[in-house]
Structure 1
Amino acid sequence: MSAIASEYLPVLLFFAVGIAFALIFVSAPIAVSALTGTAKPEAVKLSEYESGFPAFSDARAKFDVQFYLVAILFIVFDLEAAFLFPWAVSLHWGGESAWWAMMEFLGELAIGLVYAWKVGALEWE
């Protein structure tokens, strides 16, 4: 074996093992799913879950976007909570400027909530 081939042997071995693991992790779940019969559709699987409209209908059909508006509002206020907890824990390091920055952030979110409430984005029909 030449010196260059012996230097690249670990790289090629690493590449071969990576390809083998990738094929195993892709093909094994597909094979298990086919063998266990999880691909068989049932009435419960085909029913509406969260979106409120049938899963298999015409793609060009009109549907209500109210669900998506509520979901976006949920994400916004969920992110608010995600920002609020670390801020509260580290408030003593930020000082007064951190306090006013968070109050501005909460004020902007409150204005957004009032606006969404006024335009009726929270009303479910």
Structure 2
Amino acid sequence: MDLSETTPAPLWPFFVYGIFVILLLTLIISLSYFLGQRHQGKATGQPYESGILETGSARLRFSAQFYLVAMMFVIFDIEVVFIVLWALAFQELGWQGYLSICVFIGLLFAVLIYEWSIGALDFGPNGKKILKAYKKRILKDKI
């Protein structure tokens, strides 16, 4: 069959679909405008998040440890993508792919243990120090 003899697909179904979508959107937005509630409470124009009224500035300082944990999360999250892609291509990769993913997961595990050992994953208060201070204060109050 000669390629010059083929006819292009008709475009009218695409235009009908586009017109149908535009009409449906217009109908939905019009109905919500005419049937929707209109009220003006005292807090209607104020910023609102999770039911908590604003109390101060949104410019808060976070410790550098917070950003470190966030970066590690992103890195480990991306590595999960690599593992999922490996799982999808498991049949084609064979034993060589299996051994390489084992090395990859081993390195991830070694990095996780290293980060844990240096305290990079401790982004909250130290519970042992708090408990020790609490016990010390209880003993001080009893005396």
Gap regions ≥5 residues in structure 1: 1-41, 54-62
**What is the CA distance between 1:45 and its match in structure 2?**
8.8
| RMSD of aligned residue pairs (Cα, Å) | 2.5
Superposition deviation, residue 64 in structure 1:
2.4
CA 1:92–1:64: 2 relative to 1, 3 Å: same
**Relative to structure 1, is the Cα distance of residues 75 and 95 closer, same or farther in structure 2, using a 3 angstrom cutoff?**
same
Q: After the TM superposition, which parts of structure 1 deviate over 4 Å for at least 4 consecutive aligned residues?
A: 42-45
Give 1:75 shift.
1.1
Q: In the alignment, is residue 47 of structure 1 matched against residue 58 of structure 2?
A: yes
C-alpha distance in 2 between matches for 1:102 and 1:95: 11
Give the AA of the match of 1:47: A
* C-alpha distance in 2 between matches for 1:102 and 1:77: 15
Residue segments in structure 2 that go unaligned for 5+ positions in a row? 1-46, 48-53, 125-143
- Normalising to structure 2: TM-score of the pair? 0.46
Instruction: After TM superposition, give the deviation of residue 72 of structure 1 in Å.
Output: 1.3
Question: Where does residue 81 of structure 1 map in the other structure?
Answer: 80
Instruction: Select the structure of larger CA radius of gyration.
Output: 2
Matches within 5 A, 1:84-99: 84-99=83-98
Structure 1's 45 and 91: CA in aligned 2 closer, same or farther, altered over 3 A? farther
Q: Which has a greater percent of helix?
A: 1
Aligned residue identity for 2:110 = I
Aligned residues: 74
Aligned-pair identity (%): 33
Q: Which has the higher contact order (CA 8 A, sep 6+)?
A: 2
> What residue is the counterpart of 2:65 in the other structure?
66
